[in-house]
Structure 1
Amino acid sequence: MREPLQVLVLEDEWPARNYLVQLVEQSGLGHVAAAVPSPALASEALAAAPVAIDVAFVDVHLAGERDPSRAGLTWIEGLAAGRGAPRIVLTTASSGHAMQAYELGVVDYLLKPFTEGRVRTALERLVAATARSSAPRTDGATRIAARHGRAVVFLARDEAFAFEAEGRLCFVHTAQGRLDVDLSLTSLEAVLGPTYLRVHRNWLVSTAHVRAMERESGELVLVVGPGQLRVQVARDRAAAVRDRLLASAIGLRPGPG
């Protein structure tokens, strides 16, 4: 089992700082090595950490600083030239700094108030990115090993329509039915790369096998594979999923879905 991400939280408001720490720890994906209210203390925590900090959750507005409205961005700018700088997740009550944040290499952007699902999604993406950077590269010839009863079935990558997590188990949906796999969705996402899209915490879908997007009771649903598997997209991922699928297709003008 992979060690949890080492996390630094830079947030000047105690209630928000405490709640974010709680959400990170409850996820099981991260361990908060330090939670501090100011850039100076954040820099000290980075320097004093016994192991490298993997990710810093940084608030944009930090009271008491020279320019409080963008103090978090100023601290991030100071990290840019440093070696071993952590990945940055920006936390803010406004989306106004989004463009500048991504220019600084911010890997995710959390709007307040935080939710358990959104914080977990950010951590899952970071875990996947970390695994991707250390995992051996795979090519089109790499096959997926799955279980069907006592047999081990080898699948070409394009035979996997989608992967589903259910409790502690994970399955791959194929023309042969739903088969067991041993890897987690996060590990599969890291190894399989961008041709598979995480549309829900419990679903990883092959973009090549998405046949249709539909609205069902206000929710975005993907129709996947020849068997017309129906996969509900998480609300906080719906816009990104729609944009990603339309970006690789022609025939429609951009617009609300």
Structure 2
Amino acid sequence: MICLLVDDNKVARLTLKKILRNLGTVEVVGECENALDAKVFLEDNHVDILFLDVEMPEMSGLELLRLLPRRPHTILTTAKKSYAVEAFELNVVDYLVKPFTLSRVLAAMDKVQELIKFKQSHQTKAISAQQLFIKENKVIRKINLDDILWMEAKGDYVQFNLPGKSYMVHGSLKAIEDKFSSDKFIRVHRSYIIAIDKVEYIEDRLVYIKNQPIPVSESYKDLLLSKLDLL
């Protein structure tokens, strides 16, 4: 699991990082000392778990959560208990009061793992048929999954790109990602999901489909490569 630590207290970050390192199941890919830096990081990087301090200068952790269109599994950290109600209204996984204890962090991680297992157990609900229906304006169209090249987020819409045509569907890329089978499609950027079998070649941090360059975020690159049959 990939984790980001956000706390303006360096000692708190070091303590938490040491505990997580000992677990052996979590990789800390980044540390931010304020919410603004964390927002920028999360816009371009995939994170499974977010350890987020509540009280920070300029922007609080709770304010950051309200701004994120796609929230990782979030564990709030704070020296006060008074934020608990507001925190759980934002659907955080857990709420840790400083100073941390090993047993308390382990309990929070267990909750995250249970949520991930629950999501995986419901993957059978993901689209596995050969066709699906999409609604474009007032028209409901049937498209073949094998025809989809890639999907791109465009504001409040997602553009489905097929050979020689495209369709705009109201919704978020996150909602699309949750529905599509990971065997056929993979997210490579905050704005793109591609069909794995349509990849022609990869150069630097660009993947090409029908000679169209599509950016690949650094945090998604390893996952993409793991899906390909490399010699």
Normalising by structure 1, report the TM-score: 0.52
1:115 corresponding residue in structure 2 = none
Give the counterpart letter for 1:183 in structure 2.
Answer: G
Report what 2:221 is aligned to: 241
SS of corresponding position for 1:181: strand
**Partner secondary structure for residue 230 of structure 2:** coil
8 Å Cα contact 1:159/1:175 also seen in 2: yes
The correspondence for 2:189, drawn from 181, 200, 213, is 200
Aligned to 1:172: 160
- After TM superposition, give the deviation of residue 146 of structure 1 in Å: 5.4
- TM (norm. structure 2) is 0.57
Deviation at 1:189, TM superposition (A): 0.4
Distance in 2 separating the partners of 1:21 and 1:106: 23
Match of 1:24 among 65, 71, 92: 65
Distance 1:72 1:241 in 2: 34
Deviation per CA, 1:43-81: give whole Å up to 9, x if none.
x948x988694424769xx5xx4xxxxx36531323567
Residue 10 and residue 57 in structure 1: after superposition, are their counterparts in 2 closer, same or farther (change >3 A)?
farther
Q: Deviations over 1:174-227 (max 9, x none)?
A: 013222223321111000031321212211111121111112xxxx01102xx3
Compared CA separation, residues 211 and 188, structure 1 to 2 (3 A): same
Instruction: Give the aligned partner of residue 214 of structure 2.
Output: 231
Mapped to 2, the partners of 1:55 and 1:144 lie a distance apart of 34
Question: Residues 160 and 173 of structure 1 are in contact (CA less than 8 Å); yes or no, is this contact kept in structure 2?
Answer: yes
1:75 and 2:104 aligned: yes
The 1:243/1:25 distance shift into structure 2, 3 A limit, reads closer
Gaps of 5+ in 2: 1-49
Unaligned runs of 5+ in 1: 1-7, 66-70, 88-104, 108-125, 252-257
Question: Helix, strand or coil: the match of 2:129?
Answer: coil
Amino acid at match of 2:68: S
One-letter amino acid matched to 1:186: K
The 5-angstrom pairing of residues 1-257 of structure 1 reads 11=53, 14-15=55-56, 18-28=59-69, 37-38=78-79, 41=81, 45=84, 53-56=91-94, 62=98, 65=99, 71=100, 73-79=102-108, 85=111, 87=112, 105=113, 133=122, 136-145=125-134, 147=136, 152-194=140-182, 195-215=184-204, 220-224=205-209, 227-234=210-217, 236-237=218-219, 240-251=220-231
Contact 2:132 2:143 (8 Å CA) reproduced:
yes
SS class of match (1:143): strand
| 1:51/1:164 CA distance change after superposition, 3 Å | closer
Paired residue type of 1:27: L
Offset at 1:142? Answer: 4.0
Q: Report % sequence identity.
A: 13
Size of the aligned set, in residue pairs, is 178
